[in-house]
Amino acid sequence: MATGSPSSSSSSNYDVFLSFRGEDTRLGFTGHLYKALHDKGIRTFIDDAELQRGEEITPALMKAIQDSRVAITVLSEDYASSSFCLDELATILDQRKRLMVIPVFYKVDPSDVRNQRGSYEDALAKLEGKFQHDPEKLQKWKMALKQVANLSGYHFKEGDGYEFEFIEKIVEQVSGVISLGPLHVADYPVGLESRVLHVRSLLDAGSDDGVHMIGIHGMGGIGKSTLARAVYNELIIAEKFDGLCFLANVRENSDKHGLERLQEKLLLEILGEKNISLTSKEQGIPIIESRLTGKKILLILDDVDKREQLQAIAGRPGWFGPGSKIIITTRDKQLLTSHEVYKKYELKELDEKDALQLLTWEAFKKEKACPTYVEVLHRVVTYASGLPLVLKVIGSHLVGKSIQEWESAIKQYKRIPKKEILDILRVSFDALEEEEKKVFLDIACCFKGWRLKEVEHILRDGYDDCMKHHIGVLVGKSLIKVSGWDDVVNMHDLIQDMGKRIDQESSEDPGKRRRLWLTKDIIEVLEGNSGSREIEMICLDLSLSEKEATIEWEGDAFKKMKNLKILIIRNGKFSKGPNYFPESLRLLEWHRYPSNCLPSNFPPKELAICKLPQSCITSFGFHGSRKKFRNLKVLKFNKCEFLTEIHDVSDLPNLEELSFDGCGNLITVHHSIGFLSKLKILNATGCRKLTTFPPLNLTSLETLQLSSCSSLENFPEILGEMKNLTSLKLFDLGLKELPVSFQNLVGLKTLSLGDCGILLLPSNIVMMPKLDILWAKSCEGLQWVKSEEREEKVGSIVCSNVYHFSVNGCNLYDDFFSTGFVQLDHVKTLSLRDNNFTFLPESIKELQFLRKLDVSGCLHLQEIRGVPPNLKEFTAGECISLSSSSLSMLLNQELHEAGETMFQFPGATIPEWFNHQSREPSISFWFRNEFPDNVLCLLLARVEYTYKCISKLTVFINGKRHKIASGWEDWMTTEVRKAKLNTYLFDLKSSFRLGDLSEVGLEKEWNHVEITYAGLIETSLVKATGIHVFRQDDIRYDDPYGKRKLEHDLNSFESQPLIKNPSRLFCRLSRWVGPERIINLLGNAADGALLTNAERRYSHISMDSFCQRCRLEEETCLHALRDCRKVAAFWRSVLPKKLAPKFFKGDVTVWLETNLSFSEAAFFWPTFFGIAVELLWEYRNHLKFFQRAFRHGVYSIDPSKSMDIVFKRYKDYMRAHASHNLMTRNLLKWNQSPWLLRLNVSGAYDPSSGTAACGGIFRDKDDDRFVLGFSVKLEECWSIDEAEIWGIYHGMKIARKYDIWGLYRDILRQNNIRISLGIARQHDFGKIRVESGSKKAIEFVLDGCPTATSTRQHCFPLSQELKALTSATNHSYFFYTGHNGAADSFAKFGLSMRQQAASIFSACPSFCQNFILKERYMLHVT
């Protein structure tokens, strides 16, 4: 994330960086590739054709590479002749940890690139002469060419086909990579990078060890949601999750809709469950807990303000799977503590530098402003107090303004008290035109969270046709946002609060304000009848806790409100109904409206929208009179239980939407409803007592909903052609038949039927002109009736357009196939599941376009008399009556020769023509050159599972795993009633996302393909597996390499250092005391035979050579066992002091020999070393092959736990081999003392004042007893890292000065723990474990000041003193542990001190006690 640069949703300015040799491909292939990417909207960097390239990468080009997300390297024939291209390639590969690299081998063989043959050999030979003075650069280029050739990419050969098709494949992959769905973070993400890194470190990003829950807290408007979105974007790229969910505005949404809605959204986002309907949060909790257990998810809970919200959505870490990340943003820090969220990140205001940069971007749209503005910018930053939202709003208000206007604005800011920061936003409001102000206040008070379309519709009458302009101005001023797929109007809480305060300022008397939105004001006005003509808008939206309160009023309060235009009442209970509505009323929305009709004296001339859900309404009209509703467009009576009749609606000529959804007692609908010429939406869902529906002639109708009208026996007659109704769903109806006039729905494309009882369906329905999909389910009385009209005109009617025909569970018998079945001429998908027919007719062979056929659950199906010629997918699960002849037909070799088939049916026969079969859950074959086009796989398995996928199949090609194709798991899903053996036949290439396999295989070498069914669930049984390859040349089923011993690549062998005096090392190994397996491991390490990621890549087993732990460097043997920074931290914590200076030096052989012969400090070290090497290699393998954190630490290795394992293994070995003279007590001497002292240190730094402090606390290791604390105020200090270094220095100094071990011994005696001299010597009593939250501080202590040319030369004396202190103060271990709350409290206390002398605390002070108690609690829980 580039600090301060414009950004939309990701940190990259470019999507793709193109690397190529211009003379070769600029005007051809690369130019076409660039255009294809550009046409797809993919931002692509390509060098200007006129750019004069030098010998080195320019900063601009380097930035372009760093800003891109994908790099495409077009390796052409003369690519290597350009030193610049080779430099560019090496630079790109250096960025691989964050940049996806896609090589394209354009008319050049990848093996020529890898081995530098042909034109690459000639080009490099010429460059060797030119760069003979710089052999390292030549070696770097050669290594880059090898690396890029080993990456998965694309190969275009002469005569391979059309270039544009080849380019389309590349563009498709790139498009998939960049469409990971990041959220919009901010236009100018200033100051976010360090904050994102901090949060990611607290989340232990990349670790799958446990569930990580963190709270981000801070004041409103400070950027908590922005930070959460930025972290979300980083994590979805860096890690793979089983599900993602960002729950925004939890506080607001839970108040308005209840926690059940949020629980439903969580299940929808993670599981895709659309049909879950929760009645209470208590019902949702066990569902979330059971359904998400084991799933690694990323969940953001944004703006939480009550603990019950957390309890309902993320009650405990155990609800989710290992590796899950839960981020909570809230204004309430205590809320996090009460929910036991101990990892917290307090988001502070922007410092002056970042605030200035953000203001500059917002006001000037560039990084630097004109120098004349510097002073006024600083003054604005001072008044904004580092609040990002305020800076953004003020900056956008002052865009393009002169210095004088800035000065004027600043003067106005000065008149506003600083503590009232919301008032600063008033300046932006005052810059609006009058109508813009009104629109803003309308939205702030009443319409935040509404859809833009609704807001524009409601307010359009009041502001003519200027609404879109006004909305655009407000968006441009950053006062509102329009976001989401449904264009929801939103604004920040601070801006909304500002708008509401401005509205309240219009009058102290609520009855004289334009808008009423505060509950107490509305109740006061209604109960006191104190309204006036000034009131134009009332929005009463009671919270769930307030909605049961009854408002006592007389019903006449609206008489005085002559200009009332908008009345919205939700969740309110009134003692009686209204007696009067003003003529000016345009919007009436009243939930639970208390009267059975509208007031008789209401003239509805202006009324455009009327919504009365859950009301007492019985009829829409007036007592004894008829009135015209000329302007009414929306009328809704949803869930009105007293509504029994829809009366004459002919007085509603402009009605566009009519809904009486859920009116369970509705009996009659007036026939006039069928003649509303402008009606677009008609919703009568759930009217269960409605038996008839009037005829329809609705030419504008787009949506008709009649589902769950269970008493409706006849579908309404369609009196004329209706072209706009394209989809119709009829579920849970009592229909007997569809009328002949149903054919007048000439625009209908999709017809869905479900649970419709006895329904006569004419066969000619499939001949409707635009019908594409006909879907029916559980219509057990469905009768497919032959149409006489069809028979008469059979010779003249054009064939059906239906391509998807599904009638599942509809009790169909054999006569179905004789009733118009052949009319389905163009059907592609045919689903006949769970029916009663006994055969598939021979006429099915005439369905030339049919590709997918499903007859699962047809228990009586015996014969298949024909197979469609182009059938690719056939499913017949539980068809237990199928004859042997039918099964043989399905196993016909010719049926599968064309490829792409996926068949499932009962039985357990392996065809004789199958090449290879196995009784194991995995099966293999080898191919050479190109991957075979048609590989047919067979699985015979007994299935006893009844809901989800019966298996998780995996394909490995040369060790690389390929994912299953989308939709294939659904094919393997079966609801099984009886466990039977099933046969699964599927084409390998189409069933898995193997993509373009032209480059998967290594040319002229045998490539291993393994299909494994090891993931079958426990209740399934694999009986047999098989493979048939239709092309037999260059295919083998036995291992061509015998035991597949992997040989080293010649080039990698030559790059290894020669073994120095190997006989000495192997002599040491022969005398080493320990398990034989470790001797073999150490020997393999010395021999270069450990299968590290680098070796796996060189052996073509894997394409990834990077270390799994750090992802920073190539994983060689030494890197895995010694040099990885996380492994090195472990070694530093256990090294004997005399061995430390030379431990990290030398090659593998020297390193092993040095450690196996070392005996100066402790003669058991060689044994400890060997066992530790084995443990580190175990950790590495668990991470590599199981993709999860090993219990004792993989990503970060806990030295204490790891040493415990080493000691236990040593003791176990010694007990089993008692003849050895090594004594366990000598090894125990190296164990960490049970009475080890901990020194936690911390630093505090105030950038605004430049002051700093440090502090620390001495405690014992296990029982957390307080020994001593200290705080020190520092002089000059550059950063918080330096403050932590000073904390270590003062802590070690205080340990000596105050005899810390004597103090500790006294405390132990007070607790009746006696330490004898012998025990003290044996356990090195008084060792200190120094823990710091700064990695840089720990590295400084261990390695010294990083460079002698540093500008901070005052660090050098400190470095020397620290070395002296740590040498003199017994044994000390140094660890990075993350921030410690107790130590932080001492450091923060130091900031408040006046003197610079150390303050010493012999008893735990009050400011630290809570942290001590919390850590003790966590220790006991652990």
Supply the residues annotated as catalytic.
88
- Residues 1011/923, Cβ–Cβ less than 8 Å: yes
- Residues 862/839, Cβ–Cβ less than 8 Å: yes
Report the alpha-carbon distance of residue 390 to residue 1312 in Å, rounded.
Answer: 60
- Strand residue runs (E) in 307-418: 325-330, 343-346
Report residue 57 as tokens: 């990468």
Number of CB atoms found within 10 A of residue 179's CB: 10
* Beta-sheet pairing, 902-906 with 916-918: unpaired
Q: 3-state DSSP call for residue 1107?
A: coil
Report the alpha-carbon distance of residue 385 to residue 1355 in Å, rounded.
Answer: 33
The single-letter code of the amino acid at 555 is G
> Residue 752 is inside which H or E element, if any?
strand 750-754
Tokens 């008033």 belong to residue: 426
Backbone angles phi, psi at 26, to 5 degrees: -60, -45
Task: Indicate the burial class of 700 (C-beta count within 10 angstroms; 0-12, 13-18, 19 or more).
Answer: middle
How far from each other are the two terminal CA atoms of the chain, in whole angstroms?
Answer: 37
Tokens 């011993």 belong to residue: 1045
The residues that bridge with 1293 in the sheet, in sequence order, are: none
Report the alpha-carbon distance of residue 1066 to residue 1149 in Å, rounded.
Answer: 10
Phi-psi region of 449 (alpha: psi -120 to 50; beta: other; left: phi over 0): left
Q: How far is CA 773 from CA 752, 778, 849, in A?
A: 8, 17, 15
Tokens 């994983």 belong to residue: 1115
Q: How far is CA 980 from CA 905, 1021, 1103, in A?
A: 10, 10, 41
Report the alpha-carbon distance of residue 174 to residue 169 in Å, rounded.
Answer: 9
Q: 3-state DSSP call for residue 88?
A: helix
Phi-psi region of 757 (alpha: psi -120 to 50; beta: other; left: phi over 0): left
Backbone angles phi, psi at 236, to 5 degrees: -70, -20
Report residue 1175 as tokens: 């443990």
Number of CB atoms found within 10 A of residue 1251's CB: 17
CA atoms within 13 A on the CB side of 1139: 23
Backbone angles phi, psi at 329, to 5 degrees: -110, 135
Closest alpha carbon to 190 in 65, 361, 384, 345:
361
Report the alpha-carbon distance of residue 751 to residue 736 in Å, rounded.
Answer: 16
Task: Indicate the burial class of 505 (C-beta count within 10 angstroms; 0-12, 13-18, 19 or more).
Answer: exposed
Report residue 1057 as tokens: 């250092």
The DSSP secondary structure of 237-257, one letter per residue, reads: HHS--SEEEEE--HHHHHHHH
Closest alpha carbon to 323 in 428, 407, 209:
209
Report the alpha-carbon distance of residue 414 to residue 411 in Å, rounded.
Answer: 5
* Beta-sheet pairing, 935-943 with 587-590: unpaired
DSSP state of 611: E
Cα torsion angle, 1015, 1019, 1021, 1026, sign: negative
Report the alpha-carbon distance of residue 715 to residue 723 in Å, rounded.
Answer: 18
